[in-house]
């Protein structure tokens, strides 16, 4: 921790200085009823230079299930990933909400503007055109929601902190839930002098008509001159004068008009503070947890992503997600794949009913999967190159019907002019055919050959070709457009796990399920880094040894790639504030 920061915070505490003003200057807002000491704690976490937490030990799949079986105070932190199977898109994946908004709402300066309070106040129309797609009641809870409900039913869960606004937690019967980013069940008028509350059912008709709902409550709207005259008249009277109440009553009994301010659902937009009960409950829960489970979230936006740092470092952590989170404190166990598939396996071991047909899971071999993935990649590359060669040949050689037609036309022209020196076939041969044929990509380096042969103008902003070739492999294109944590590596074999199978990765703490699409070499590098640390431990470079030692990833040449964060482009919605 930065010593100078601690000294400043200590001076503020000793001098009884309210930290709210300082926090507001750096963009942190807190509820009025939040204790000062909790504000200081958040301030230290946000500004402190704290070493990244290292995992205490590695847990394989069976040990991970035992962790959940024996825990009594599990803190669950969820994001959009647990609602994707319900039909609600997540935010940052290649086919997620931000990608869809960029296409459907071109008037947005940026996809995140849809959930920006400042933009909403200036133009709420895009939001309400979109709102009907995430309207509560249109979706049913997923197996992941039902799994969390079973944790609560079996007295294992301390509390659920959800970043989603879809309300599916309550539909699943979960009671101990904090909706960190608000919800869609109620709404409020944005006029601070009105703030009338509405049930979302009152606005349903207007929302489904893509109309902006306005507050219809009758309120008094004095002009600036009327307000100034009223206050001047009050100030002329001594405090406690009975005439003050008479003047006040007369002033507010004037004719009222509809408020007409925009009504905003009670979800937390960018630029708004989180609900006060989030901070209040987090202050109570952070020291009373025996296991943390993070499910379906990239944990890119605070202050919710401060939760893993807030709890004790000795509390084990489990990640259930499609991909690792290298920017976060390390997890003792990473179950990588679709959340529903993973919790189905865990539930089968714990005897939980999460509303799915039970199936037997098969432990597939890592080496066999690597062989199959490499073979499939080789076949895909060969197929892509064949398609490109055929495509270029088709572009160079005109169709046979056109050649015959052109030959006939030339023959007629030749007979009419009497010129027989040049045959039709000679006159119609494309002059550039030989040059274009020489540019066919060679197998040794297809990417380089393709770039040299067909120059593609790149977008200077992100380096992705703006106009892909018609025959470009869609998977390759999606990989480049993906804003997931994993880098785009189209010519590297990737993990492929079938439904009902799981694979123990060589790292010792990662188990792969269906839905995990990481490049194989990243998982291999994780294992190599982890093994190198174990060798260092055996050589006596680490004091503590045994099952509780730090077997974290070393900061080798791959750490820079592993810590690369997603491109910022909120879900089901995970309105990250």
**479-536 confidence digits (pLDDT tens):** 333 333 333 455 778 888 999 999 999 889 999 999 998 888 778 766 666 566 555 5
Other beta carbons within 10 Å of 504: 17
Q: Calculate mean pLDDT across residues 308-317.
A: 92
Residue 27: left if φ>0, alpha if ψ -120 to 50, beta else—which one?
Answer: left
Looking at residue 327, its pLDDT comes to 86
Whole-angstrom distance, CA of residue 111 vs CA of residue 575 = 12
**419-436 confidence digits (pLDDT tens):** 444 444 444 444 443 333
Three-class secondary structure of residue 116 per DSSP? strand
How many Å separate Cα 353 from the centre of its chain? Answer: 28
> Any idea where the domains of the chain sit in the sequence?
1-50, 54-95+139-180+275-364+497-577
Model confidence at 395: pLDDT above 80: no
**5-15 confidence digits (pLDDT tens):** 667 777 777 77
Which two structure tokens, joined as six digits, stand for 131? 């709102």
Three-class secondary structure of residue 430 per DSSP? coil
Closest CA to 566 of 399, 356, 366, 325: 325
Looking at residue 353, its pLDDT comes to 94
Which two structure tokens, joined as six digits, stand for 348? 């089968």
Model confidence at 86: pLDDT above 50: yes
Looking at residue 490, its pLDDT comes to 57
User: pTM value?
Assistant: 0.66
Looking at residue 45, its pLDDT comes to 66
Q: Which residues are catalytic?
A: 181
Model confidence at 437: pLDDT above 70: no
Other beta carbons within 10 Å of 487: 13
Whole-angstrom distance, CA of residue 444 vs CA of residue 554 = 34
Whole-angstrom distance, CA of residue 103 vs CA of residue 114 = 13
101-107 long-range CB contacts below 8 Å, 24 or more apart?
101/130, 102/569, 104/130, 105/129, 105/130
Number of H helices and number of E strands within the chain?
23, 14
Alpha helices in 77-167, H assignment, sequence order: 97-104, 117-122, 125-131, 143-153
* 91 vs 127: which has the higher pLDDT: 127
Looking at residue 465, its pLDDT comes to 34
pLDDT confidence tier of residue 240, bands split at 50, 70 and 90: confident
Whole-angstrom distance, CA of residue 183 vs CA of residue 161 = 13
Looking at residue 486, its pLDDT comes to 36
Whole-angstrom distance, CA of residue 116 vs CA of residue 101 = 13
Which two structure tokens, joined as six digits, stand for 80? 């959009």
* 287 vs 14: which has the higher pLDDT: 287
Residue 54: left if φ>0, alpha if ψ -120 to 50, beta else—which one?
Answer: beta
Closest CA to 309 of 334, 285, 328: 328
Three-class secondary structure of residue 69 per DSSP? helix
Whole-angstrom distance, CA of residue 381 vs CA of residue 478 = 16
Model confidence at 22: pLDDT above 90: no
What architecture is the 54-95+139-180+275-364+497-577 domain classified under in CATH?
3-Layer(aba) Sandwich (3.40)
- Min mean pLDDT across 50-54, 299-303, 340-344, 361-365 is at 50-54
Whole-angstrom distance, CA of residue 90 vs CA of residue 570 = 8
Closest CA to 158 of 282, 266, 54: 282
Looking at residue 460, its pLDDT comes to 35
Q: Calculate mean pLDDT across residues 391-396.
A: 74
Which of the given ranges, 7-21, 105-119, 131-145, 288-302, has the highest pLDDT on average? 288-302
Which of the given ranges, 145-159, 249-263, 503-517, 528-542, has the highest pLDDT on average? 145-159
Model confidence at 103: pLDDT above 90: no
């Amino acid at each position: 921790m930065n010593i100078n920061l601690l000294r400043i915070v200590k001076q503020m505490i000793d001098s009884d200085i309210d930290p709210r003003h300082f926090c507001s200057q750096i963009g942190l807002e807190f509820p009025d009823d939040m204790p000062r000491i909790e504000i200081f704690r958040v301030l230290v976490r946000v500004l402190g230079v704290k070493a990244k937490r290292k995992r205490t030990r590695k847990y394989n799949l069976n040990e991970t299930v035992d962790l959940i079986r024996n825990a009594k105070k599990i803190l669950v932190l969820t994001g959009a990933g647990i609602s994707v199977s319900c039909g609600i898109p997540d935010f940052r994946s290649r086919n997620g909400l931000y990608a869809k908004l960029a296409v459907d709402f071109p008037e947005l300066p940026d996809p995140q503007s849809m959930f920006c309070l400042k933009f909403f106040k200036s133009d709420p129309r895009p939001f309400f055109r979109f709102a009907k797609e995430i309207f509560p009641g249109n979706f049913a809870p997923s197996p992941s929601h039902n799994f969390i409900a079973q944790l609560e039913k079996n007295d294992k869960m301390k509390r659920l902190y959800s970043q989603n606004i879809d309300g599916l937690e309550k539909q699943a019967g979960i009671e101990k839930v904090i909706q960190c980013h608000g919800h869609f069940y109620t709404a409020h008028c944005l006029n601070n002098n009105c703030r009338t509350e509405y049930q979302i059912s009152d606005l349903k008709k207007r929302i489904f008509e893509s109309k902006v709902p306005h507050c219809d409550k009758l309120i008094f709207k004095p002009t600036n001159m009327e307000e100034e005259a009223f206050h001047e008249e009050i100030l002329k009277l001594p405090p406690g004068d009975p005439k003050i109440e008479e003047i006040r009553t007369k002033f507010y009994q004037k004719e009222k008009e509809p408020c007409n301010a925009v009504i905003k659902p009670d979800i937390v937009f960018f630029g708004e503070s989180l609900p006060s009960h989030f901070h209040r409950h987090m202050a109570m829960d952070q020291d009373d947890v025996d296991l943390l489970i993070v499910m379906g979230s990239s944990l890119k936006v605070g202050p919710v992503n401060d939760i893993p740092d807030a709890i004790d470092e000795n509390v084990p952590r489990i990640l259930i997600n499609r991909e690792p989170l290298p920017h976060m404190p390390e997890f003792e166990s990473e179950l990588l794949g679709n959340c529903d598939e993973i919790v189905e396996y865990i539930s089968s071991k714990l005897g939980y009913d999460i509303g799915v047909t039970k199936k037997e899971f098969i432990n597939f071999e890592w080496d066999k999967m690597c062989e199959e993935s490499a073979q499939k990649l080789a076949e895909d590359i060969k197929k892509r190159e064949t398609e490109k060669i055929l495509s270029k040949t088709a572009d160079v050689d005109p169709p046979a019907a056109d050649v015959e037609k052109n030959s006939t036309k030339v023959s007629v022209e030749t007979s009419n002019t009497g010129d027989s020196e040049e045959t039709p076939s000679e006159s119609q041969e494309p002059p550039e055919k030989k040059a274009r044929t020489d540019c066919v990509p060679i197998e040794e380096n297809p990417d380089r050959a393709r770039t040299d042969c067909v120059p593609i103008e790149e977008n200077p902003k992100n380096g992705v070709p703006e106009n892909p070739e018609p025959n470009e492999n869609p998977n390759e294109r999606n990989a480049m457009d993906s804003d997931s944590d994993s880098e785009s590596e189209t010519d590297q074999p990737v993990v492929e796990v079938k439904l009902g199978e799981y694979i123990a990765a060589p790292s010792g703490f990662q188990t792969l399920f269906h839905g995990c699409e990481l490049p194989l070499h990243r998982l291999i590098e994780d294992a190599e880094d982890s093994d190198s640390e174990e060798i260092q431990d055996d050589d006596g470079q680490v004091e503590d040894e045994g099952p509780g030692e730090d077997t974290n990833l070393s900061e080798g040449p791959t750490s820079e790639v592993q810590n690369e964060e997603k491109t910022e482009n909120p879900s089901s919605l995970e309105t990250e504030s």
